[in-house]
Amino acid sequence: MEISRGEIRRYLGYGKNEGDEAVNNLIEECIGELVAAASPKSISRVYPLKLLSDDWINFTVFKTRSRNLSRNLQDCEQVILFAATLGAGVDVLLHKYTKLQMSKAVTMQAAATAMIEEYCDEENRKLKEEYEDRELYLRPRFSPGYGDFPLECQKDITTVLETPKRIGIMLTDSLLMTPSKSVTAVMGISGKPYRCEIKGCESCGKADCAYRRD
Amino acid sequence: MAVILEEINKRKVFFDGGTGSLLQANGLEPGELPETWNVKHPDIITKLHRDYLEAGADIIKTNTFGANGLKFYKGAEFDLEEVVTAALKNARNAVETASYPAGKKKGYIALDLGPTGKLLKPLGDLAFEEAYKMFSQVVKIGEREGADLVLIETMSDSYETKAAVLAAKENSSLPVFVTTIFDEKGKLLTGGNVESTVALLEGLGVDALGINCGLGPIQMKGILKDIMKVVSIPVIVNPNAGLPRSEGGKTVYDIDAAEFAAAMKEIAEEGACVIGGCCGTTPEHIEKTVALCKDLPVRLPDKKNRTVISSYAQAVVIDNDPILIGERINPTGKSKFKQALRDHNLEYILREGVAQQDNGAHVLDVNVGLPEIDEPSMMAEVIGELQSIIDLPLQIDTSNIEAMERAMRVYNGKPLINSVNGKKEVMEAIFPLVKQYGGVVVALALDEDGIPETADGRIAVAKKIYDKAAEYGIEKKDIIIDALCMTVSSDSRGALTTLETLRRVRDELGGRTILGVSNISFGLPQREIINAAFFTMALQNGLSAAIINPNSEAMMRSYYSFRTLADLDPQCSGYISVYSGQVATLGETVRQGTSSLSGGISGGEMSLSESIAKGLKDRAYAAVTELLREQEPLTIINGQMIPALDRVGKGFENGTVFLPQLLMSAEAAKAAFEVIKEKMAEGGVAQEKKGTIILATVKGDIHDIGKNIVKVLLENYGYDVIDLGKDVPPEKIVETAVKDEVKLVGLSALMTTTVPSMEETIKQLREAAPYVKVMVGGAVLTEGYAKTIGADQYCRDAMASVNYAEGIFQALD
């Protein structure tokens, strides 16, 4: 997995600035430790999808209401529920440096975020190719909490995918995922080719986000 | 012995198979809790159990996998009592009404306990004792309603597994079986492996252990082989019906019942004593498996006689290849360490731990005994903190029985316990704890008559300890004899007696040994010279575990050389990997600091303010040490440090300095402050604090990185920070603010779901302590949002918090 140094610096607030030598060394150190500590895992399942009136969406295994997501899933007949995590080992590292060296903790945090995004992209790319062989096309990955897609759907997705026992993602009472470097998402499947962005960031409606890529 | 355990000694025993997919076929809706069907559809559940018994299963699992107090509470549609009671009733009905195949006896009922679905603290939000309580509730109902055994299954976290086992053993007299879920690499989701898991479970005294779920029988074969190499108790294997894939919203598996049974036959032949199925398996899978395996000969695992301890992630075996136990987490003779304990400065202790790990320790000794502190609480807390960042097994070192028990309970693994001795009273206090929680115990070869002067005397005490331990069911392998290292300056024969004892424990008793090696040189100059020489002699005389200072290069040289010379280091690879990169440094005795916590580039001189601005910890340390020869501490702080910090802070606000640099500067400044603080303490002056600030991440929120950044900066600017941590209830924040008369509270929240806790905290603060100012920050907050929930100030970043604090406390002056 090739983790983008530019993405890590973006998460650290550098924008397009190059970091100085010390920071870039720290980034490399973090990547080395992360690769050793991470054990990336993902799971996905496919369900029939129905778009209902008033922006309601029926995923077969649960229903929700979201205007942004309804638009994202236009023309889709099926949907992939997807979850991925870097595993608890990464949280141990983050915890360790939070206790001992905050500069490394924030850098590790950024590197781990870049890593889980890259891992999701890779897994999604595989799915995309698999479906394109059957002339089906995937829509951009869309996660609970993006735009008006309710965070509560986190519960449904993790339950349906049995993430606690399959890949180890569990929710806290306030719907935070543990391990912290985890992603849940849905991806529409359509017979119609359509601009398919693998990236998640641009598809979010929160245009004023400090970390927005575009 | 429980009947089911006798059965396992006589023949292959069979578990039933999966439940979930069969219930779905019967109409269980997605998201519907399967356990509710115990009450809603007792007929279907009873039939399912009966089908398995009629297919030849000996043990049925109750439909209680997810039955816990989080999902079934008073006021929910069904409460826990109702669901578990109904589950047992259905199982009993099935056992009574099944038409058993010829030759089969009545079935046994396993009370099924699955994971809580929550990650335990500190990485998750469920406390260990909460998990224990949840499991205990189910166990009590299960035993009362007629379960024959407890099956703890599908566990993927060693800590949660320990909570469940303690709950089962402390609240029932039923046999306890445990199966965990490994991935294809043989790892638990939280990082444990086969060896660490077996060590933990055998230590806790479970009756059978094994694997379930996650994989099919074919993928489980390799893991089973690894288990068989180390296990001494019966092994259970309950695989899925192959590997799953998703087809049209349904999960299907890649092998059929006949293939499943064929693979299970190989598993039984490999040594599994109890076999059955998990997800996707049906009565047909079990029937075919029983047909192929029921007449296979029984072969119980041999007793392995391994002396092994574990952390959450790894096992350490104590055998002919000696291990190193780091001795540095111990206040004896260390004034800084004592001060750290008094100040509750856990960071200092954690650094000692990480440094020893980086320098090659295999185990860390943990001793926090100091007369003026609450040792049991401190011990439990330090163990918790160490095991959350370090994956080495720990040695719990205390003579305080309460501290010992609390540490053993919260420890995530099978610990080394330091220590017991030949005194009757001590053995009677320690051995029951070892039996209850598991562990390898260090036994000092002394008793009521004191320390025997001869090896004969020490061997006799060792024998006495082994015998007494056996009465408690503790095997010799779980005891290591401390041959006692007496200072050679007061008894010139002391070292020889110790060495003879080591040799004879190994040769005559077949036991393992341990020594606190550094004791040998008390009262002598250049202690390392004697320590290192004695260490080599002890190793040559059979020492299995050495308590030493791994930061001492001389000791590590003895260790690496011995292993090479004693044929314990194939191709000298261990020696070469440590020393090939080093130039000759025979004059040098102590290794430099720690590798993973280094402060960037070193070498060359640089002014203090420049070192801080560039974030170079080592140089800042050197520069301040130099400056202190000529200048007063306050001159240095005001003339160099504060201006440097201000410059970096301004740069951060202007967007020319970024967060990692800001923090590196803060860390460099902190290193310099430490030196100044020590100097001031020598002169009897304490550094004046500008004021006290409480920081907390609000209840429900476990992401505290932002709060910790703010803490680092505020401390550098001279504030005393009370860090209440994460997931902090409003009441605790209010109580602390009132008790310590704190004027400023900083709160952080990451998610929209936790901002309500922040609002509630502010509300309670306003009522109880209206004089308190509240600053807030976190990913979802904005200026407007902060106003809405009643905060005094929104801080967009860490520097904004510093600026706000400076304003508040200047106004107060």
Nearest CA in chain B to A22: B600
Place of tokens 């603010």: B737
Check pLDDT > 60 for residue B47.
yes
B791: domain CATH number is 3.40.50.280
A103, A172, A178: residue with CB nearest B663: A103
Three-state DSSP state, B256: coil
Residues 6 or more apart whose CB falls under 8 angstroms from that of B389 comprise A92, A95, A96, A99, A100, B350, B353, B354
Average pLDDT over residues B242-258: 84
What's the rounded mean pLDDT across residues B204-218? 97
Q: Which residues of B touch A168 (CB under 8 A)?
A: 156, 189-190
Which site among B118, B119, B179 would you substitute to test the A interface, given the most A Cβ atoms closer than 10 Å to its Cβ? B119
pLDDT band at B602 (very low <50, low <70, confident <90, very high): very low
CA distance B443 to B472: 15
Average pLDDT of span A164-184: 93
Exposure on the CB side of residue B90, measured as CA atoms within 13 A: 29
Report the chain B residue with the minimal C-alpha distance to residue A44.
B246
Distance (Å) of CA A156 to CA A65, A143, B62, B494: 13, 12, 25, 68
| pLDDT tens-digit map of B318-336 | 999 999 999 999 999 898 8
pLDDT band at B813 (very low <50, low <70, confident <90, very high): confident
Phi and psi, residue A55, nearest 5° = 65, 20
Residues B182 and B149 in one domain: yes
pLDDT of residue B593: 42
Quote ipTM for the complex: 0.88
B187, B659, B754: residue with CB nearest A174: B754
Residues of B in contact with A174 (CB under 8 A): 700-701, 751, 753-754, 757
Peptide bond into B660 cis (omega under 30): no
Domain ranges of chain A: 5-203
The secondary element (H helix, E strand) that includes residue A16 is none
B671 and B712 part of one domain = no
Mean pLDDT is lowest, of A166-170, B548-552, B603-607, B666-670, for: B603-607
Question: Residue A12: closest CA among chain B residues belongs to which residue?
Answer: B659
Structural domain tally of chain B?
4
Taking contacts as CB-CB distances below 8 angstroms, the residues of chain A near B115 are 164-165
User: Environment class of residue B436 by beta-carbon count within 10 Å: exposed (0-12), middle (13-18) or buried (19+)?
Assistant: middle
A49: nearest CA partner in chain B: B249
Q: Sorting pLDDT into bands at 50, 70 and 90, what band is B595?
A: very low
Query: Quick one: average pLDDT of A56-74?
Result: 93
Work out the minimum CA distance from A80 to partner chain B, whole angstroms.
9
In a domain, B692, yes or no: yes
- pLDDT, tens only, A113-149: 999 999 999 999 999 999 999 999 999 999 998 889 9
Q: Pick B660's closest partner by Cβ from A60, A106, A178.
A: A106
Residue B334 domain-assigned? no
B752 pLDDT tier (thresholds 50, 70, 90): confident
A182 SS3 class = strand
What is the band of A198 on the pLDDT scale with cuts at 50, 70, 90?
A: very low
Same domain, B637 and B556: no
Q: How far apart are CA B199 and CA B315, in angstroms?
A: 7
Specify if B570 maps to a domain.
Answer: no
Q: Count how many Cα atoms sit within 13 Å of the Cα of residue B755 in the half-sphere of its side chain.
A: 16
Half-sphere exposure at residue B574, Cβ-oriented, CA atoms within 13 angstroms: 17
**Do B479 and B626 belong to one domain?**
no
Partner-chain contact A19 B658, CB within 8 Å: yes
Mean pLDDT of B107-121: 96
Sequence-distant (6+) residues with CB within 8 A of B674 are none
Rg (CA), chain B: 30
Burial label for B509, CB within 10 Å (0-12, 13-18, 19+), is middle
| Contact of B60 with B109, CB cutoff 8 Å | yes
Q: Test A178 with B385 for CB contact under 8 angstroms.
A: no
Contact B31 A22 (CB under 8 A): no
Q: Which domain holds residue B768?
A: 688-812
Same domain? B727 vs B767:
yes
Compute the average pLDDT of residues B553-557: 96
DSSP H or E run through B690: none
- Using alpha carbons, select from A81, A70, A110, A72 the residue that is nearest to residue A93: A110
* Judgement on whether residues B618 and B492 belong to the same structural domain of the protein: no
Residue of A nearest to B155 (CA): A165
Does residue B106 lie within any of the structural domains?
yes
Q: Are residues B460 and B421 in the same domain?
A: yes
Whether B31 sits inside 8 A of A25 (CB atoms) is no
- Residue A50 Cα, gap to closest chain B Cα (Å): 14
Chain B residues touching residue A47 (CB < 8 angstroms)? 249
Residues B78 and B219 in one domain: yes
DSSP letter (8 states) at residue B526: S
B213 is in an annotated binding site: yes
- pLDDT at position B31, please? 79
> Is residue B525 domain-shared with residue B621, that is, in the same domain?
no
What share of chain B in percent tops pLDDT 70?
A: 97
Q: What angle do CA B59, B61, B64 make, to 5 degrees?
A: 165
Share of chain B above pLDDT 90, in %: 80
Query: B759-811, pLDDT tens digit by residue?
Result: 999 999 999 999 999 999 988 888 999 999 999 999 998 889 999 999 999 88
- Bridge partners (DSSP) of residue B514 are B482, B545
**What's the whole-number average pLDDT of chain B?**
93
Looking at residue B257, its pLDDT comes to: 96
Average model confidence (pLDDT) across chain A = 90
Q: Check if the beta carbon of residue B134 is closer than 8 Å to that of residue B117.
A: no
- Rounded Cα–Cα distance for residues A42 and A183 (Å): 9
| DSSP code of residue B680 | H
User: What's residue A189's pLDDT?
Assistant: 95
Report cis status (omega within 30 of 0) of the bond before B122.
yes
Residue B156: C-alpha distances to residues B232, B350, B720 (Å)? 21, 27, 41
* Per-residue pLDDT reduced to its tens digit, B479-532: 999 999 999 999 999 999 999 999 999 999 999 999 999 999 999 999 999 999
**A5-203: CATH topology:** NADH Oxidase (3.40.109)
Top pLDDT among B120 and A209 is at B120
Domain CATH code at residue B493: 3.20.20.20
Taking contacts as CB-CB distances below 8 angstroms, the residues of chain B near A39 are: 183, 185, 187
The C-alpha atoms of residue B721 and residue B809 are separated, in whole angstroms, by 14
- Residues of B within 8 A of A89 (CB-CB) are 191
The CATH number of the domain where B168 resides is what? 3.20.20.330
Q: Quick: pLDDT tens for B679-724.
A: 887 877 776 788 999 999 999 888 888 899 999 899 888 899 999 9
**Is residue B273 annotated as involved in ligand binding?**
no
pLDDT (average), residues B585-612: 58
CA of B720 vs chain A CAs: smallest distance (Å): 17
- Is the domain of B165 the same as that of B31? yes
Same structural domain, B552 and B615: no
**Lowest mean pLDDT segment, chosen from A196-210, B398-412, B540-554:** A196-210
| Residue B593 covered by a domain | no
The H-or-E segment that residue A178 falls in is: strand A177-178
Q: How far apart are the C-alpha atoms of B373 and B262, rounded to whole Å?
A: 61
Contact residues, chain B, for A159 at CB < 8 Å: 31
Could you tell me if residue B54 is inside a domain? yes
B626 located within any domain = yes
Same domain for B638 and B532?
no
- What CA–CA distance (Å, rounded) separates A126 from A170? 25
Q: What is the pTM of this model?
A: 0.92
Flag whether B355 is in a domain: no
Peptide bond into B419 cis (omega under 30): yes
